[in-house]
């Protein structure tokens, strides 16, 4: 009874993850659905973190989160105007009336949006840290909640694509649903391809090869139907790497892997046809967004313009001939956008995260679930070069969960414990005893 009662933290966090995949597909600011997810994540995490746990949080990751939160807080603290004058254009110095007498300014040119981003980061960090405090088997137990969210999105997408190519759903959520349960078809595609390594993991290591293969085929077909060029390419690449990367330690060999690669070859033909049908980059597209954003980064390199204020600051640097009825709300490159909003501190934090992630790769090479999580994170980061998937609550929570799998110490501790055991013969019986213990 006590073991069953101790599982409440897994179910609470699992429900938060599942809920984020159901209602967290919007990209607009101020959505009440995002607020519900964030409040739920913070409350759930507070309950989990208040309990004693034998799992330790890696210090490097903890300090990285502390510095990230500290920088957001500093952006909404009034600072002497002399600190900012000369480090950014005068038009972006802000309104001194917001803090009373002149002489003080905020780093953020839009304090409200930065506070919203602070809540967003706090919810993700709390969820991430609480998963790190779970036992290893509980972390694995969260995976079905994630896969159920993917299945719900896949069913919604399949129904939409079976009815029409351009069906949209309005009124169900505070944003217009265009693909699956997402407002953006590219973000729906991102959810599909980040789930591929876990489907391969289930097929190769959990004894569900048939159902895993069917799930993989379904995901790839949905990626083709979604029409995201980046999603199609990444889906193909992540499938190949998942099979190669994960099958090295799997019992599945020979004809099974060969059959999957033959199916992927057929998929490649369809993928190429889909990509060739559209122009890769129109004149008014990501290249122009990147050029304008880089110009803004150069003028605000020291501090940035404040997280959440890309749209407001971008308009200052936009060329007159590039102003249309549809405005640019994101840079379609998360790294450039974060550098624009956070300046040098944000760039340093991104570099430190990449270094920490690279170091973790050497530690997780023996655990298939951690390797699957690493592949998903890696390709989500690649997708962030041409889009803004992490600005969506559903994908951000997924990203936090996958990072928790990667950095969870329980997996390496479990492997180390296994390596300390050797098989010895004791009076004709087979026993496993720690190395260095007399028999």
- Burial classification of residue 423, based on how many CB atoms lie within 10 Å of its CB (0-12 exposed, 13-18 middle, 19 or more buried): exposed
Q: Convert the pLDDT of each residue in 126-159 to its tens digit.
A: 999 999 999 999 999 999 999 999 999 999 998 8
b/e per residue 192-214 (b: at least 16 CB within 10 A): bbbbbbbbbbbbbbeeebeebbe
How many of the other CB atoms lie within 10 Å of CB of 115?
17
3-state secondary structure 104-121: EECCCCCHHHHHHHHHHH
* 423 bridge partner residues: 432
State the pLDDT at residue 259. Answer: 55
Q: Which of 87-101, 164-178, 229-243 has the highest mean pLDDT?
A: 164-178
Average pLDDT, the chain: 80
Tell me how far apart the alpha carbons of residues 304 and 102 are, in angstroms, rounded to a whole number. 21
Global pTM value: 0.85
C-beta of residue 299 within 8 angstroms of C-beta of residue 314: no
Instruction: List pLDDT tens digits, range 365-404.
Output: 678 899 889 989 988 998 898 888 999 999 999 999 999 9
pLDDT at residue 283 in the model: 46
pLDDT band at residue 200 using 50, 70 and 90 as cut-offs? confident
Q: Which residues share a beta bridge with 79?
A: 105
Which helix (H) or strand (E) element contains residue 426?
A: strand 421-426
Work out whether the CA dihedral 25, 28, 29, 33 comes out positive or negative.
negative
């Amino acid at each position: 009874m006590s073991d069953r009662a101790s599982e409440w933290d897994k179910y609470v966090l699992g429900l938060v993850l599942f809920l984020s995949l159901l209602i967290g597909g919007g990209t607009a600011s101020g959505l009440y659905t995002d607020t519900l997810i964030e409040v739920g994540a913070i409350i759930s995490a507070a309950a989990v973190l208040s309990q004693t746990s034998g799992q330790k949080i890696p210090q490097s990751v903890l300090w990285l989160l502390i510095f990230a939160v500290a920088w957001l807080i500093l952006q909404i603290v009034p600072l002497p105007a002399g600190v900012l004058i000369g480090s950014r254009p005068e038009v972006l110095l802000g309104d001194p009336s917001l803090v009373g007498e002149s002489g003080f300014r905020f780093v953020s040119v839009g304090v409200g949006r930065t506070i919203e981003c602070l809540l967003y980061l706090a919810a993700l960090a709390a969820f991430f840290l609480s998963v790190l405090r779970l036992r290893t088997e509980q972390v694995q137990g969260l995976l079905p909640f994630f896969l159920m969210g993917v299945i719900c999105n896949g069913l919604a997408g399949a129904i939409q694509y079976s009815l029409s190519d351009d069906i949209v759903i309005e009124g169900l959520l505070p944003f217009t649903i265009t693909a699956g349960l997402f407002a953006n078809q590219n973000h729906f595609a991102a959810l599909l391809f980040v789930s591929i390594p876990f489907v391969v993991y289930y097929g190769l290591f959990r004894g569900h090869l048939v159902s895993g293969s069917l799930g993989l085929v379904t995901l790839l077909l949905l990626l083709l139907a979604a029409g995201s060029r980046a999603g199609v390419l990444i889906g193909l690449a992540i499938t190949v790497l998942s099979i190669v990367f994960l099958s090295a330690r799997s019992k599945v060999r020979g004809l099974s892997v060969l059959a999957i690669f033959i199916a992927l070859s057929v998929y490649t033909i369809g993928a190429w046809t889909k990509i060739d049908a559209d122009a890769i980059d129109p004149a008014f597209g990501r290249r122009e967004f990147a050029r304008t954003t880089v110009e803004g980064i150069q003028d605000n390199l020291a501090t940035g313009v404040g997280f959440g204020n890309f749209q407001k600051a971008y308009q200052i640097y936009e060329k007159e001939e590039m102003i249309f009825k549809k405005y640019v709300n994101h840079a379609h490159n998360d790294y450039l956008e974060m550098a624009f909003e956070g300046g040098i501190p944000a760039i340093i934090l991104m570099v430190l995260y990449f270094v920490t992630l690279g170091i973790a790769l050497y530690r997780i090479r023996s655990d298939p679930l951690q390797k699957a999580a690493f592949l998903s994170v890696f390709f989500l980061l690649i997708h962030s070069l041409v889009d803004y998937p992490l600005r969506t609550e559903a994908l951000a929570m997924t990203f936090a969960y996958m990072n928790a799998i990667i950095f969870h110490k329980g997996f390496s501790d479990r492997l180390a414990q296994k390596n300390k055991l050797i098989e010895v013969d004791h009076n004709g019986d087979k026993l496993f005893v720690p190395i260095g213990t007399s028999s």
